Amino acid sequence: MKWAEDLSVFFRGASKGEVLEAFRWVVYNYIVKSLRSDIVDILDQHKQNRHVVIIISGVFGNLLEIVGQTLGVPDVIGTKLEVIDAKYTGKIIKPVCSGRNKVKLFEEFIIRNELEIDLPSSFAYADSAFDIPLLRLVGNPVATYPDKNLRQFAEHNGWQVLP
């Protein structure tokens, strides 16, 4: 949570256009280049099978929207930055999309968008032990390039681990 609060200060006083321009630069110069092709292939398989695909991340929602557009995933849930009078305040709108808050924000998203999601047959992919609450929601949790703690937890619980 601290990282989001600290980083949000950089946007204080900026317009939405300025922030989106910076986020586009980050996405196209760094994030797109770092996407793992095997994970993108799995994402594409879910889209081809007409599954509801939602990207949930702790990164700022506006940045995540650009990532989602790039990957053909319109539904994203991220940490929101506060905007007042068309200017970023340098603050986040709590809660930060991390840990148990990811579950809360995901559940709110489902209700708000009137989605019917069969969680026992759903998949979730994550790389951090902080994502265990979200992974526990679904019948098919997958630890993708997991940190040490998530790898241990996933192996102990018989979850799929990639790679």
Confidence grade of residue 7 (pLDDT, cut at 50, 70, 90)? confident
Question: What pLDDT digit, counting tens, does each position of 151-162 carry?
Answer: 999 999 999 999
One domain for residues 16 and 87 = yes
Confidence grade of residue 111 (pLDDT, cut at 50, 70, 90)? very high
Q: Find how far residue 6's CA is from the centre of its chain.
A: 19
Q: How high is the pLDDT of residue 84? A: 95
What tokens appear for 70 in the block? 């790039």
Q: Over range 62-82, report the average pLDDT.
A: 97
Question: What pLDDT digit, counting tens, does each position of 13-27 carry?
Answer: 999 999 999 999 999
One domain for residues 29 and 101 = yes
Instruction: Identify the domain containing residue 137 by its residue range.
Output: 121-163
One domain for residues 32 and 72 = yes
Q: How high is the pLDDT of residue 6? A: 81
One domain for residues 139 and 104 = no
One domain for residues 109 and 157 = no
Assess contact for 116 and 109: CB atoms under 8 A: no
One domain for residues 84 and 145 = no
One domain for residues 62 and 138 = no
Burial 80-114 (b: 16+ CB within 10 A, else e): bbebeeebbbbbbeebbbbbebbbebbeebeeeee
Q: Over range 34-53, report the average pLDDT.
A: 96
One domain for residues 65 and 132 = no
Q: How high is the pLDDT of residue 26? A: 95
One domain for residues 141 and 65 = no
Residue with tokens 């609060």: 5
One domain for residues 35 and 87 = yes
Measured CA to CA, the distance from residue 140 to residue 124 in angstroms comes to 7
Q: How high is the pLDDT of residue 1? A: 65
Measured CA to CA, the distance from residue 103 to residue 122 in angstroms comes to 14
Confidence grade of residue 4 (pLDDT, cut at 50, 70, 90)? confident
Q: Inform me whether the pLDDT recorded for 71 exceeds 70.
A: yes
Measured CA to CA, the distance from residue 19 to residue 47 in angstroms comes to 29
Q: What percent of the chain clears pLDDT 70, i.e. is strictly above it?
A: 99
Q: How high is the pLDDT of residue 72? A: 97
Return mean pLDDT, the chain: 95
Q: How high is the pLDDT of residue 3? A: 74
Measured CA to CA, the distance from residue 32 to residue 39 in angstroms comes to 12
Q: Over range 44-54, report the average pLDDT.
A: 96
One domain for residues 127 and 112 = no
The CATH number of the domain holding residue 13 is: 3.40.50.1000
One domain for residues 51 and 111 = yes
The number of folded domains in the chain is 2
Q: Inform me whether the pLDDT recorded for 108 exceeds 70.
A: yes
* Cβ neighbours of 142 (radius 10 Å): 19
